[in-house]
Structure 1
Amino acid sequence: MSSWLPRGLVMTAVHVVARVLLGVAVVNAPLHTTVWKTIAIAAVVLVALLWGGVDGVADARANPDPDDYEDLTVRWLQAGLLAGVVAGLISWILGRYVFAGIGEGSLFIELIAGGSFTALLVFVPAFTGAAVGRWIVRRDQRRADADEDWSVHAERDPEHAAS
């Protein structure tokens, strides 16, 4: 199984659940629509950001040389595109036949506009998380290398290290 497929399917589920909960919240408390929308988007973004960060940390630890890093950009782009199209289709079906209130758009609008928006909601935070995760690991590696260099220097010249 491709590494982007489980990410895309999980992000699809996160988006659909957020959208259904958003629909319930908006129907029950229509005066707080902006708050509910913000929470739903933040949930999708947070999951993508954290998962991307975990991917970045794992990749940087597995490959100490940045030239050997895996291509997390394409992995998360594919996951975002899958999540966008599938979540758009599921949301359209749910809104049309099961649960009124989660969307009134046509199938074309759900797949193109909604899918693009969802793809960006997944891709951009995941890519950012991966970059931050890699940066954190590289920073820790540089600190460890600097500590090793200092200790080696201290062993060779004990008088200079003490001052």
Structure 2
Amino acid sequence: MRFWLLRGGVLAVVHAAAQTVVAALTVRDPTGQGTIAAIVLGVLVGAVAVWGVLDRWRAVPRPEITWLIAALVAGWGAAVLGVIGRSVFVDQTGASELGTALTGGAAFTALLVFVPAGVGLLAGKWLKPPTGDAAGRHAQRGGGTRSGPRS
């Protein structure tokens, strides 16, 4: 599976679920919307940044292009899924909201994915990449086979 498809699909579902949960909680408590939205936004941004760090650490090929395409997929996917989620679970949002979601909402979601991923990729440069299989690491620590006769 292509790396961007996995990242984009997962983040589209996660962002759409977050939009739906925030909308549902806002309907129930309109005064607490700012706090809820800030917490959800922080969690989403943090998760993407950590995933970016892990991609750089694991040496994923062409991570910048992967995250760019994933951000676009996540933006459009979250827009469509968010409208569907709100229409089913919250307030019967109609198809008229789809245009706004596919332009402004998708662009905002794409930025919420691409910018933290870029920061994570930059931070991941300072981590030492994995060296290979477990046997190779075991041998580097002084383990492995002994040479010479056994006593």
Normalised to the residue count of structure 1, the TM-score between the two structures is 0.71
Query: Is 1:26 equivalent to 2:30 in the alignment?
Result: no
Change (3 A) 1:107 1:121: same
Amino acid at match of 2:103: I
Partner SS, residue 77 of structure 1 = helix
CA-CA distance at 1:29 after TM superposition: 1.7
Counterpart position of 1:73: 64
Counterpart position of 2:128: 137
Amino acid at match of 1:45: V
CA-CA distance at 1:75 after TM superposition: 0.3
Counterpart position of 2:144: none
Change (3 A) 1:29 1:105: farther
Identity fraction in percent: 32
Aligned residues: 129
Between 81-90 and 94-103, the greater mean CA deviation after superposition: 94-103
Within 1, Cα distance between the matches of 2:54 and 2:99? 34
**Which portions of structure 1, spanning 4 or more consecutive aligned residues, are displaced by more than 4 angstroms?**
101-105
Within 2, Cα distance between the matches of 1:102 and 1:37? 19
Amino acid at match of 2:107: S
Higher helix proportion? 1
Amino acid at match of 1:95: R
Counterpart position of 1:36: 36
Counterpart position of 1:3: 3
* Residues 73-107 of structure 1, C-alpha deviations (whole Å, 9 max, x = no match): 11001111001001101111233354218899721
Within 2, Cα distance between the matches of 1:103 and 1:132? 41
Within 1, Cα distance between the matches of 2:9 and 2:118? 17
Within 2, Cα distance between the matches of 1:106 and 1:129? 32
Counterpart position of 1:66: none
Counterpart position of 1:116: 107
Within 2, Cα distance between the matches of 1:40 and 1:103? 24
Partner SS, residue 114 of structure 1 = helix
Change (3 A) 1:32 1:104: farther
Query: Is 1:50 equivalent to 2:50 in the alignment?
Result: yes
Counterpart position of 1:160: none
Pairwise CA RMSD: 2.3
Counterpart position of 1:87: 78
Amino acid at match of 1:13: V
Which sections of structure 2, spanning at least 5 residues, go unmatched?
A: 130-151
